[in-house]
């Protein structure tokens, strides 16, 4: 079972040729320590678990690399002009 306080999201990216192997996806799904959140990308998996568990799993999958999920704040698509106040 995954402990909520220790769980973080990670990206597993397949660096081999072609699409990600189905047997690797099955191994991630079968893991008790790592939860598969999204496998819709042809070469990446979004997983959740402790860093140690995800590193251990990635180490058993040839041609896969792990990185922490990062979020980027997008700029406001409709910036507003600042109004000048009369002093």
Q: Which domains does the chain have, with CATH numbers?
A: 8-68 (3.30.70.250)
How confident is the model over 2-39, as pLDDT tens digits?
A: 445 468 999 999 999 999 999 999 999 999 999 999 99
Residue 27 near residue 1, CB atoms below 8 Å: no
Tell me the two tokens of residue 65: 């690399």
> Maximum Cα–Cα distance for the chain, whole Å?
69
pTM above 0.85, yes or no: no
How confident is the model over 34-72, as pLDDT tens digits?
A: 999 999 999 999 999 999 999 999 999 999 999 999 988
Nearest to 48 by CA among 70, 63, 68: 68
């Amino acid at each position: 079972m995954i402990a909520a306080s220790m769980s973080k999201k990670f990206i597993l990216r397949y660096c081999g040729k072609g699409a990600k192997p189905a047997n690797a996806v099955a191994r991630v799904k079968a893991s008790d320590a790592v939860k598969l959140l999204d496998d819709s990308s042809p070469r990446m998996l979004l997983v959740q678990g402790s860093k140690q568990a995800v590193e251990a799993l990635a180490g058993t999958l040839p041609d896969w690399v792990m990185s922490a999920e990062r979020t980027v704040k997008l700029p406001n698509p409709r910036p507003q002009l600042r109004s000048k106040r009369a002093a």
